[in-house]
Structure 1
């Protein structure tokens, strides 16, 4: 009976401590008439159009243009960028590519996804995607790990025939992310996220709020603000593991110690 109670308490504690299954943390897609979603794209890093995760940004441009968007990504997120390019009715075969850069303008490798695709002659559209590695809260200076801050998306055509240059196209970009959680947590955090101009804001914010605000080149941030870098569900699992180990020790002792009664004394002893 005692063993059953111990095992039952262990199972109940484990069930209460297990967090919900990891789900896509991106906000719900924006409605087609959402005025907050940008309808133009920048032509450089400095003029990149800011887009929130979950929004669908659109832009009209010409074949051969470089299109730029920016979005915020925080520690523990694994961003995925998806782009669709609608091509003109008549065109030769052409390749399209999306590249993602972090706040230091370092090109980030795609963990998986069709980053480059070739549209066959006369194809109506081409779809691209790029899933980055999980954003870490801290990294060595020499490493190229994704870090919290602003990320830039660049969309462009490669190897375009001369006759196709300048033809009108329309593009749409959507960014979402999956919350990986404590499995990717590391010790340490950045003093500030990699957002262009945020260091200037931190130093001059107390003196002149308006000037400091204008110094930030990318104003978007996650809905809940930037993570502090020290908390993750890894702490929960560590505590739960300690409790389960203690309960397992109690259960093992109860199984091996016996009934505790003295053995029967043989007659005539």
Structure 2
């Protein structure tokens, strides 16, 4: 009887431990870094603005998962600004549709750069940040996968922090005769949650959102003329993260449960093996 009960406890503990390991294995796989990055903006992205700014101060504000477009000329600098929050790993994708090959005089090289709210250039982990388009190419696609946004960092560090991020798209090499030719640009920003593996012990007092990020509306100056109004920096549609919840809570609670199950398992082994079983009378 005692042996049967002990075996039942051991089987229950083993099943619980296996379930816990499966849970953590699947959770770890969900936040694993995926080095693959499609360069082309997603086709199912939400429609966004149809113009781009030409400087940091006039950058057009967009949200993540939103496809922005702009018609410009070869040689123009195109700027957009988007919000990125703690734990996110943004991916910027851009596509430039080039004029007909008959109008071009040679190949061209295009580049997409990303800057944070302090206008510090952020390095790309991987992607196609710079690409050369052949003289007969119809379009060129670019991508940049940033590092995971941290909640806090040392003042001297160059780590990505919560706030606004600027996208700059331009040609960095082209025949002089091709400058000024019309092009069509598309850009989209997506991100994945990298999980608690990148959490730190502090957080910023305020996100790095500059006071000027986009020009979208006109404000009445009172003298009968309209003057462009520069809006405040963009922020996520659901607001900035409060900073108290991370998946480390899940790992902590799960670890406690597994520790308790291991203790019960060990107790069952010790109790069952430490006492001799009773011998039925008459044997």
Q: Is TM-score (shorter-chain normalized) higher than 0.5? A: yes
Among 119, 124, 129, which residue is 1:110 paired with? 124
| Separation in structure 2 between the aligned mates of residue 249 and residue 65 of structure 1, nearest angstrom | 66
Q: 1:14 to 1:261 in 2, by over 3 A?
A: same
| Separation in structure 2 between the aligned mates of residue 186 and residue 55 of structure 1, nearest angstrom | 29
| Separation in structure 1 between the aligned mates of residue 147 and residue 49 of structure 2, nearest angstrom | 26
Partner of 2:38: none
1:60 aligns with 2:71: yes
Among 100, 112, 121, which residue is 1:89 paired with? 100
Partner of 1:21: 30
| Separation in structure 2 between the aligned mates of residue 241 and residue 12 of structure 1, nearest angstrom | 12
Q: Which stretches in structure 2 are left out of the alignment for 5+ residues? A: 1-7, 35-41, 213-228
Among 228, 232, 236, which residue is 1:217 paired with? 232
| Separation in structure 2 between the aligned mates of residue 170 and residue 160 of structure 1, nearest angstrom | 16
Q: Which stretches in structure 1 are left out of the alignment for 5+ residues? A: 199-213
User: Is 1:115–1:128's contact at 8 Å kept on the other side of the alignment?
Assistant: yes
| Separation in structure 2 between the aligned mates of residue 262 and residue 160 of structure 1, nearest angstrom | 88
Among 149, 163, 171, which residue is 2:177 paired with? 163
Partner of 1:5: 12
Q: TM-score when scaled to structure 2? A: 0.78
Q: 1:30 to 1:262 in 2, by over 3 A?
A: closer
- Deviation string, structure 1 residues 73-122 (Cα, Å, up to 9, x no partner): 00010000000001111321110000000000000000000000001112
- Please give the residue correspondences for 1:1-269 in structure 2 after superposition, counting only pairs within 5 Å: 1-11=8-18, 21-22=30-31, 29-31=44-46, 34=47, 37-90=48-101, 91=104, 92-197=106-211, 217-218=232-233, 220-262=234-276
1:262 offset after TM fit, Å?
3.8
Q: 1:255 to 1:58 in 2, by over 3 A?
A: same
SS in structure 2 opposite 1:99?
Answer: strand
1:197 offset after TM fit, Å?
2.5
User: Is 1:28–1:54's contact at 8 Å kept on the other side of the alignment?
Assistant: no
1:261 offset after TM fit, Å?
3.5
1:236 offset after TM fit, Å?
1.4
| Separation in structure 2 between the aligned mates of residue 237 and residue 97 of structure 1, nearest angstrom | 40
Q: 1:263 to 1:10 in 2, by over 3 A?
A: closer
User: Is 1:189–1:230's contact at 8 Å kept on the other side of the alignment?
Assistant: no
SS in structure 2 opposite 1:224?
Answer: coil
1:259 offset after TM fit, Å?
4.0
- Deviation string, structure 1 residues 218-265 (Cα, Å, up to 9, x no partner): 2x3223211122320112101211221221122123224434434789
| Separation in structure 2 between the aligned mates of residue 138 and residue 54 of structure 1, nearest angstrom | 25
1:184 offset after TM fit, Å?
1.2
User: Is 2:112–2:142's contact at 8 Å kept on the other side of the alignment?
Assistant: yes
| Separation in structure 1 between the aligned mates of residue 123 and residue 196 of structure 2, nearest angstrom | 22
Q: 1:225 to 1:28 in 2, by over 3 A?
A: farther
